[in-house]
């Protein structure tokens, strides 16, 4: 065989191998995971910062203290916070929240992608539909919650109590109260809520996107609408567990008795303030959680495109 033909054959073979390698490698390289985490972290911080004032009002309404005693309207709570602490008071605890949200969402989205990839490979009978997103989203949400929960506890205490202890001061105090268990006070109702909520968000979002008319596919406004619905569905059913979680993080200060578990917490809150308190701030949560979920999901997709990460295919 002539040398020119051999060179052409080798060159074509090499290029073919390189093409296969380049297609397979991105999902398995550390740099790929770093980019997934960066995309998730930026998306999470963007979403949470956009609704930070509403998040603080929701916290205060859930625990029924400070500027938001039970029955106070959300608008009046915003005005009262501004009067007492100035406009920046609306963002009290947001720095801590960003510190928590970035690694939390970075881990969440990266874990979601990995669980999704594993499920598609290990259980091909599931197909590539939204059921995979439901399972992978739930597992990713649980993974990120456990990894970053102490920061969520610190954020809650900083937002609801007048303290200048800072994040590490609050964490030291929580550890002094109960060791590692003190840092994870309220984690069980948190997991009980996050697992279905995180999964439902991805499930509903991806399901609705699949049903978009062709002329709306890829449009940001259409994807935002899908994200809003996903946020509403994902938060409604499990909302009482979020109220219990906040009370446990604060030591049950709003119930008159220690909140030690999910079911006991539901009973204690209902006994102290009535069943309506289990849904305190729910309407306001719709104003906060729905756009936050939408912004987070869409921002993640936009960040993936910016970082040239492959889109998920169903």
From first to last of the 314 residues of the chain, give the pLDDT tens digit.
444 444 444 444 443 333 333 333 445 688 899 999 999 999 999 998 888 888 787 777 666 555 555 556 677 888 888 888 888 888 887 887 787 789 999 999 999 999 999 998 888 887 777 889 999 999 999 999 999 899 888 878 887 766 667 788 889 998 998 899 989 988 887 888 889 889 999 999 999 999 999 899 889 999 999 999 998 888 887 788 778 877 777 765 555 666 667 777 888 888 887 888 888 777 767 888 888 999 999 999 999 999 999 887 65
For residues 55 and 291, the answer to whether their CB atoms sit within 8 Å is: no
**Given this model, what pLDDT does residue 13 score?**
41
**Given this model, what pLDDT does residue 26 score?**
43
For residues 227 and 203, the answer to whether their CB atoms sit within 8 Å is: no
Provide the token pair at 137. 């989203």
| 3-state SS, residue 67 | coil
Render 231-250 in DSSP notation, one character per residue. Answer: HHHHHHTTHHHHHHHHHHHT
**Given this model, what pLDDT does residue 8 score?**
43
**Given this model, what pLDDT does residue 266 score?**
80
**Nearest-CA neighbor of 254 among 273, 279, 267, 274?**
273
**Nearest-CA neighbor of 199 among 136, 271, 116, 252?**
136
**Nearest-CA neighbor of 42 among 103, 94, 90, 91?**
103
């Amino acid at each position: 065989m002539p040398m020119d033909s051999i060179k052409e054959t080798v060159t074509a073979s090499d290029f073919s191998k390189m093409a296969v390698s380049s297609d397979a490698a991105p999902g398995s390289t550390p740099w790929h995971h770093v980019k997934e985490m960066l995309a998730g972290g930026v998306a999470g911080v963007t979403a949470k910062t956009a609704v930070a004032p509403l998040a603080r009002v929701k916290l205060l309404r859930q625990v029924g203290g400070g500027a938001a005693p039970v029955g106070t309207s959300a608008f009046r709570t915003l005005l009262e916070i501004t009067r007492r602490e100035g406009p920046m008071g609306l963002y009290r605890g947001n720095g801590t929240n960003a510190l928590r949200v970035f690694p939390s969402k970075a881990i969440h989205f990266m874990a979601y992608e990995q669980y999704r990839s594993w499920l598609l490979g290990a259980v091909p009978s599931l197909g590539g539909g939204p059921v995979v997103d439901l399972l992978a989203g739930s597992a990713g949400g649980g993974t990120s919650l456990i990894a970053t929960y102490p920061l969520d506890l610190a954020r809650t205490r900083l937002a609801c109590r007048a303290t200048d202890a800072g994040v590490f001061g609050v964490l030291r105090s929580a550890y002094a109260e109960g060791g590692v268990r003190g840092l994870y006070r309220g984690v069980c109702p948190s997991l009980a809520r996050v697992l279905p909520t995180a999964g439902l968000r991805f499930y509903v979002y991806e399901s609705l996107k699949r049903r978009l008319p062709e002329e709306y596919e890829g449009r940001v406004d259409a994807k935002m609408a899908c994200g809003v619905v996903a946020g509403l569905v994902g938060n409604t059913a499990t909302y009482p567990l979020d109220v219990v979680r906040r009370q446990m993080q604060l030591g049950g200060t709003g119930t008159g008795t220690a909140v030690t578990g999910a079911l006991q917490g539901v009973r204690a809150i209902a006994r102290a303030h009535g069943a309506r308190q289990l849904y305190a701030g729910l309407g306001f949560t719709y104003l906060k959680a729905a756009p936050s979920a939408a912004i987070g999901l869409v921002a993640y997709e936009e960040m993936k495109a910016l970082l040239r990460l492959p889109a998920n295919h169903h």
